[in-house]
Structure 1
């Protein structure tokens, strides 16, 4: 389990509890305003995540108030593409979570807009890495949303955007920070999520706890 003061004690990152579910719902809604309502997690989803795999659910607190959260499940390495709803068992994770899975799949991470730019997401990634080590998990997998596509969607297709992003021709407000946090590109997944701002796409990435697990 995790409980750690971060950023000179201004914040705390810890495992989520059932009591956090309502506030996690609030963070989710504020962080993903363009995500389709069928893919937004609510308090019941977050509560079930805690019941299924509490070690993998995190929140960030400031002065006792949850201002960020992250949700995960355990899985085997994804050899084939799936949609966000398929990967998460329609957001519940009950049937998607593999108790002895080798990888931690990060299905959600958000920080309230007024607290962005402080490195809180990176701190949650670090905390998840420590959990992976504690549980003997090979590392983290994420499907990062190509959220920067919305600003250039009138100029190029999502396929071209992902290709140019892979070639480091420009940066993306989600994918680039995730790469700076240690995640490595696997492949683009099209029609992964219902969010026009991201072109409905995501980038599958991974960050192993040991070099021997690199592809």
Structure 2
């Protein structure tokens, strides 16, 4: 089980924070966070429900983490193990996460896949998303996996979709000529783009595209 107490920084003020595994008592709060973190036009039926959350802790509790700030739930990250081959075919979020239930979690998988990460908007300036991602890096190292893998939304893409492909948009963000709220954040967290997945998830802002990104375990060749 995972437990990390630390101080998040609210500008110059240290704020007590804790990352731990989430459980049944947290479900209502986690769903509330989803509704705040993913407001319309993001589809509300893609927020976690209690059945999905129960499946997370039943199949892979090690990858079901939440973060508290001053005792209040402030965010979460959910993951599963999968076998990933770099030359494998593209995948969608519903397929790789079993529609969010992660019943396809492979205990002997080689990669940790991020199913979801979200932070309550009022806490987004405290660097909690980066701390949650770092916690998954710890899980990758502890379980001696090859990588952390996940596909990031590209919510800024809809402003450029008429003039460039999703692949070109990703290139522009990586080059620093454009900024994207999600992809730029993931780059700051040490993630490396592998390519673009189309029809990844229903997401009007991203035009249903996502950037597949990885973090390789530095202790494995």
In the TM superposition, residue 152 of structure 1 has moved relative to its aligned partner by: 3.9
Q: Secondary structure at the match of 2:84?
A: coil
Q: Tell me the secondary structure at the aligned position of residue 143 of structure 1.
A: strand
Q: Does 1:93 align with 2:102?
A: yes
For 2:143 and 2:24, the matched residues in 1 are separated by 22
Of 49, 55, 58, 1:48 maps to 55
Query: Is 1:111 equivalent to 2:146 in the alignment?
Result: no
Query: Given the two structures, how large is their TM-score scaled by the length of structure 1?
Result: 0.90
Is the Cα–Cα contact under 8 Å of residues 82 and 106 in structure 2 kept in the other structure?
yes
Between 201-210 and 153-162, report the one with greater CA deviation. 153-162
TM-superposed deviation, 1:71: 0.4
Structure 1: runs of 5+ lacking an equivalent: none
Q: Distance in 2 between matches of 1:13 and 1:178?
A: 19
1:16 is the counterpart of 2:22: yes
Once the two structures are TM-superposed, the CA of residue 155 in structure 1 deviates from its matched residue by 5.0
Gaps (5+ residues) in structure 2?
9-13
Distance 1:139 1:113 in 2: 28
> 1:189 touches 1:201 (CA, 8 Å); kept in 2?
yes
Q: For 1:72-91, what aligned pairs fall within 5 Å after superposition? A: 72-78=79-85, 79-91=88-100
Task: Report how far residue 161 of structure 1 moved.
Answer: 2.2
- Aligned CA RMSD, in angstroms, stands at 1.8
After superposing the two structures, state which structure 1 stretch, 142-151 or 152-161, moved more. Answer: 152-161
* Deviation string, structure 1 residues 59-84 (Cα, Å, up to 9, x no partner): 01123221100000000115211111
Stretches of 4+ aligned residues off by more than 6 angstroms:
none
Give the length in aligned residue pairs.
212
Q: Provide the rounded CA distance (Å) in 1 between the counterparts of 2:69 and 2:16.
A: 7
- What do the CA deviations read for 1:35-89 (whole angstroms, capped 9, x no partner)? 2234332222112101110000110112322110000000011521111111111
TM-score (norm 2): 0.88
Q: Does 1:70 align with 2:64?
A: no
